[in-house]
Amino acid sequence: MNLLAGARAMEARPVTLADIIPDPRFHCSFPHDISALDASVARRGVINPVWLIPSDGKYDLICGFRRYRAATKAAQEKMPALILEGADEYTLLLMQAEENSHTRGLNLLEKAMLIRSAHASFGKTPEQVIDTLFPAIGLERSMVMYNAISQVAEYGPYTQALVASSGMGAKQAAVLAQFEKEERELAAEWITDHRLGLNQCVQAFEALLDIRVNQGLSASEVMDEMEKAAAQNWDATRRTDVIFNTLIKKSKPALASMEYDFDDAVAALTLPPQVRIRPPKNFEGRHIELTIRADRAESMSAAIAALGKVERGGLEKLFKWI
């Protein structure tokens, strides 16, 4: 489909920033980091023209919100623009969506905002959105997907920022729908504060949900408890590690209790520090792993000698867990 059929694009020409009005219906940018763009625009100005439509003697911004923001921040007076005439406005939305999707990729929140805009500002039905916008932004035709993504536009600011900055996909974000708005916001703020990566972020939401479902504790109760698990004077990385691991253990109490018991049994063996004994993952499987970590032959030989003295009964205890 030629989205621009019927539209006339003039030559790119400089337009005064003061004459450009960002049209919120077309705004979908939710970048997590535009510092590179800011620096480039500050240094060399905007290179690729933004897209505008004439509006009461001024221009509405259709495509290029991030460039516009960077140019404004760099206090530039003008930026290059293509002035489009004659295309209907929904076509322009599709065009800018496709352009952004191809050039920089859209995050999940941006896709959600586009869906909301198509629906709320252009009166499109879900079916029409799926038929027109979805192919423009690389989504498969699916009402399930429509429902899953569009709800992200209704989330609170912390959750939205987390979705955008973590790079969550629709499948990963599905767990968010299981929380009440307020609880989801609190959790998103907490997870953002702890700077968890994408996988950890999803695991943390999953753990909070499991704890609520299985133990009846709200996310805020759990977060308070987790904060107490790490001393305030620890550095941020250590605190986050401890908090995250404690959270995962809390969500899996049966496995955690097995792990504690197993660790106790290993500790009772009084092994040399070079030796590590680990159960199979999740205690599934039939093998216990023993590793010796040594940087010198003497150290390894000492560890092997020490292992020879370990009581068989103590070792046998370990196997009762698997």
Partner 1 sequence: MSGYPIDRIAVTKEAGASPLLQRAIAAWPGAEVEQAQAAPEGDGLAMAADPVAQGKRTLVLVKNRGRFIRKCPGTMGLICCNYWVIDLVEGCAIDCSYCVLQGYLTDRRIRLAVNFDDMERELDTELAATDGPIRLGTGELSDSLMFDHELGISSMLIAMVRQRPRVTLELKTKTVNIDSILDTKPVENVVIAWSLNAPAIAYGEERGAASIEQRIQAASRAVAAGWKVAFHFDPLVIHDEWEAGYRQTAALLAEAVDPARVEWISLGALRFHPSMKDVIRRRFGAEGILKGEFALCPNKMRYAKPLRRRLFSTVKNALQEALPGAPLYLCMEGAEMWKAVFGALPQAMPRNAPMKRLFA
Q: Which residues bind partner 1 (CB under 8 A)?
A: 127, 130, 140-144, 147-148, 171, 174-175, 177-178, 209-210, 213-214, 251-255, 258, 281-286, 322
Nearer to partner 1, 246 or 251 (CB): 251
d(CA 173, CA 228): 28
- Backbone torsions φ then ψ of 21, nearest 5 degrees: -115, 115
Nearer to partner 1, 13 or 287 (CB): 287
* Least spacing, CB of residue 317 vs partner 1, in Å: 16
Nearer to partner 1, 45 or 169 (CB): 169
The CA-CA-CA angle for residues 175, 181, 182, to 5°, reads 120
The two beta strands, 78-85 and 13-16, are antiparallel
In Å, what is the CA distance from 79 to each residue of 70, 147, 273?
11, 38, 64
Nearer to partner 1, 142 or 237 (CB): 142
Nearer to partner 1, 72 or 178 (CB): 178
Nearer to partner 1, 139 or 303 (CB): 139
* Least spacing, CB of residue 177 vs partner 1, in Å: 8
* Least spacing, CB of residue 129 vs partner 1, in Å: 11
Query: Going by C-beta distance under 8 Å and a sequence separation of 6 or more, which residues neighbour residue 253?
Result: 215
Q: Are 24 and 89 in contact (CB under 8 A)?
A: no
Q: Are 98 and 92 in contact (CB under 8 A)?
A: no
- Return the structure tokens found at 236: 């941020």
Nearer to partner 1, 121 or 178 (CB): 178
* Least spacing, CB of residue 205 vs partner 1, in Å: 12
CB atoms near residue 184 (< 10 Å): 22
* Least spacing, CB of residue 134 vs partner 1, in Å: 10
Collapsing DSSP to helix, strand or coil, 64 comes out as coil
The CA-CA-CA angle for residues 242, 248, 253, to 5°, reads 115
* Least spacing, CB of residue 25 vs partner 1, in Å: 25
DSSP string covering 218-276: -HHHHHHHHHHHS-TTS-HHHHHHHHHHHHHHHH-HHHHHHHHHHHHHHHHT---TTEE
Nearer to partner 1, 156 or 169 (CB): 169
* Least spacing, CB of residue 275 vs partner 1, in Å: 24
* Least spacing, CB of residue 136 vs partner 1, in Å: 16
